[in-house]
Amino acid sequence: MSCEDSIDAAPQPPDGYRVVVGDVAVPTRTVLQAAESGEADPAARLFAKWGLVVRSGAVVDLRVAPGWEDRARIGWGHSTVPAVSVRVGACPPAADRTQWLAFAGGTWVAQPGCVPVVVRSGGGQAQVHLGIGVPCDGVDGQ
38 or 97, which is more confident: 38
Whole-number pLDDT of residue 138: 62
Residue 63 has pLDDT above 60, yes or no: yes
pTM across the whole model: 0.91
CB 114 within 8 A of CB 30: no
Q: How far apart are CA 129 and CA 113, in angstroms?
A: 10
Q: Determine phi and psi for 138, rounding to 5 degrees.
A: 70, 10
DSSP 93: P
Compute the average pLDDT of residues 102-125: 96
pLDDT at position 93: 81
Sheet holding 35-36, edge to edge: 35-36, 46-49, 105-109, 72-76
Provide the edge-to-edge strand list for the sheet that holds 24-27. 8-10, 100-103, 52-55, 24-27, 17-20
